[in-house]
Amino acid sequence: MFETQIFKLNLQFLIVVAATAPTLASASDVVKLSTGEKKVIGPIAKVEEAESTFTFAARVDTGATTSSIHVEECKVEDAAGKMDENLGKTIHFKIKNPSGESEWLKREIAEISTIKTSEREELRYKVPVTLSCKDVKKRVLVSLNDRSHMTYPMLLGRNFLQGDFVVDVDLGRKQADQRTDSADTSAKQQKTPQSSSQK
């Protein structure tokens, strides 16, 4: 009898909770509620390197653990014969902005990691670099890499995005559509003959 009363009380409590609890939100609402003060970012973003104040177009990649930047060349002070023996040494590396301006930066090599690409495995130096995007400024480890064969000179990985950004892949499509519309409008204006005054 006593156990039956307890069961009834628990059941009544569950009914009250279920009645007063909010309904489950849709997937899109959950994303909005979970973002808080996070910035919405598209698949491509403008990123500034703090020391040089150079701005780069960066590919946003949530699958990449670490961010990466293209370097024109680099030199390690008192370099050893093997890359993995240069940990903790000072490295000078040159970056170049889209306008062709270049600047040498100097950092201590914080990590040396093995990166697997579609072609091979390679060692890369990682150094601390301060980046800013959409008013978010962070000092993160950045992999120094030859990205000359890639479309974008910088890659934003999770170590910069985490905690501050939500990626909306539709933004890239919208930006592409806007560029297409703008190009179409410009082309139409060029094709439209200008009327001349008749005398």
How confident is the model over 78-88, as pLDDT tens digits? Answer: 999 999 999 99
How far apart, in whole angstroms, are the C-alpha atoms of residue 157 and residue 126? Answer: 13
Instruction: Note whether residue 28 is domain-resident.
Output: no
pLDDT at residue 8 in the model: 43
Question: Do residues 167 and 42 make contact, with C-beta atoms less than 8 angstroms apart?
Answer: yes
Instruction: Note whether residue 24 is domain-resident.
Output: no
Instruction: Note whether residue 186 is domain-resident.
Output: no
Predicted TM-score (pTM) of the model is: 0.68
Query: Would you give the distance in Å from CA 81 to the centre of its chain?
Result: 34
Domain count, the chain: 1
Instruction: Note whether residue 87 is domain-resident.
Output: yes
pLDDT at residue 69 in the model: 98
What's the CATH number where 71 sits? Answer: 2.40.70.10
pLDDT at residue 189 in the model: 52
Instruction: Note whether residue 2 is domain-resident.
Output: no
Highest mean pLDDT among 17-21, 29-33, 57-61, 170-174: 57-61
Q: How far is CA 99 from CA 55, 110, 183, in A?
A: 10, 29, 22
Q: Which pLDDT band, with edges at 50, 70 and 90, does 12 fall under?
A: very low
The range of the structural domain enclosing residue 73 comes to 39-164
Instruction: Note whether residue 171 is domain-resident.
Output: no
Instruction: Note whether residue 193 is domain-resident.
Output: no
Instruction: Note whether residue 198 is domain-resident.
Output: no
pLDDT at residue 3 in the model: 47
